[in-house]
Amino acid sequence: MRKYWGLFLACMLLSSCGEEKSTASIADEDVDVQESIPERNIEKYGLNLSDFIVVEDTIRRGDIFGDLMTRNKVDYPKIYELTQRFKDTFDVRRIRVGNPYTILKSRDTSEVAQLFIYENDAINYTVVDFRDTVLAYKGRKKVKLVQREASGVIPKGGSLSDVIVKQNIDYLMVNELSGIYAWTIDFFKLDAGDKFRIIYEEKYINDSIYAGAGEVKAAYFEHRGEPFYAFAYHNDSLDIKEYYDQEANNLRRTFLRAPLKFGRLSSRYNLKRKIRYYGYKVRPHKGTDYAAPIGTPILATADGVVTESTRRGGNGKYVKIRHNGTYSTQYLHMKAQKVRRGEYVKQGDVIGWIGMTGNTGGPHVCYRFWKNGRQVDPLREKLPAAEPLAEILRPAYYEYMDPVKTQLDCIDFPEEQAEELLTLN
């Protein structure tokens, strides 16, 4: 008995998201209790809810999983068994404030909780079954994919995110487009009149509940008059999905165009830069600066090995990566580094965070790029591309791509933005 009492106290300390329990009594909180109608078979989470008393609520600040279960008459040994056997499936310490949950209680006079269903997100959920042997498993709601078309024109003084919001397109498309074109378009320097078309999927639960954006099937982005097509295609030879253009070239490059997902280009590589503070003497700037709020993640622009992760003089805290015998990159003024010397990093990995260490007038990362031991301007370099689609796979790709390209080309731009585009031209 002493053993279980000690374990009971330990489980009570497992709180949501590491937050301390609020002083308000959980017993005093209101919960939305819904009794299922016996004559109706309500199918949800793969269960017939009409067999149970149904309690629905959301995780609140200070909620503790052990408290929730013991209040609903689950024996502590079962709670403890769950925390020990199924921590990889359902970690009770990681329940999040605001996430919905459902408790299914027996219909007899005891009203003991028999199942606990926690919604990880709009689609995924975890079921904890306390009947007989304790069991925990994950599930997914049935999702219907609906194809949507959208387009937009970048206005004067505007941005891609402005257009996405105005067109009532899922904001995730900002991330998706910047990711698809991360190697080919500098999203820090879009121009008024740049335009895009996209074909993408939206997810719906029960045909009506929106559950977020899905995959981008195809995209067209015109930057400074140059068109860039992107078609999602499963590369059977590599067993991965890649984005290719209309000529089966891979959009992916060896290097990302920038070490941040979002921010602004604040200062370019300039060997003839003059600064007033130094009496307008020439002080070359061999880096490319990207300004962003402190704490913004800094990304490795290519695969490689960390050769330096230290702090030195005006550079502040920085990381340097050797990518191969030709290329190296360096990232200065970090708030903190996430990687150590000798670590192997992959393209897109977070290696540190924006800060103001060393000589800097504001939060930014100074991105430096070496080619054959000499610092060069990364924005002027023709970065090596990934392998194009193999010749043997191209006929099938073109057969798939042609009708999608026709559909993409037929998407009209919004009327008011089309008029603005004529004005800009």
Reported as a single tens digit per residue, the pLDDT across 126-158 is 999 999 889 999 998 888 899 999 999 998 888
Would you say domain 144-253+388-424 falls under CATH 3.40.50.720? Answer: no
Q: Report whether pLDDT(25) > 60.
A: no
* Assigned superfamily of 264-376: Glucose Permease (Domain IIA) (2.70.70.10)
Task: Give the amino acid at 302.
Answer: A
CB 341 within 8 Å of CB 329: no
322 beta partners: 305, 328
| 76-90, 113-127, 299-313, 368-382, range with the lowest pLDDT | 368-382
> Which phi-psi region, left, alpha or beta, contains residue 231 (left: φ > 0; alpha: ψ -120 to 50)?
beta
What pLDDT is recorded for position 156?
A: 86
What pLDDT is recorded for position 245?
A: 93
What pLDDT is recorded for position 211?
A: 85
State the residue for tokens 């610092």.
Answer: 375
β-bridge pairing 47-48 and 43-44: antiparallel
Q: How far apart are the first and last CA of the chain?
A: 81
The full set of domain ranges for the chain reads: 2-140, 144-253+388-424, 264-376
Nearest of 335, 345, 381, 326 to residue 186 by alpha carbon: 381
State the residue for tokens 């990364």.
Answer: 378
CATH number of 2-140: 3.10.450.350
What pLDDT is recorded for position 264?
A: 81
Q: Do domains 2-140 and 144-253+388-424 have the same CATH topology?
A: yes
| 74-88, 112-126, 202-216, 364-378, range with the lowest pLDDT | 202-216
What are the DSSP calls for 356-369, one per residue? --SS-SSSEEEEEE
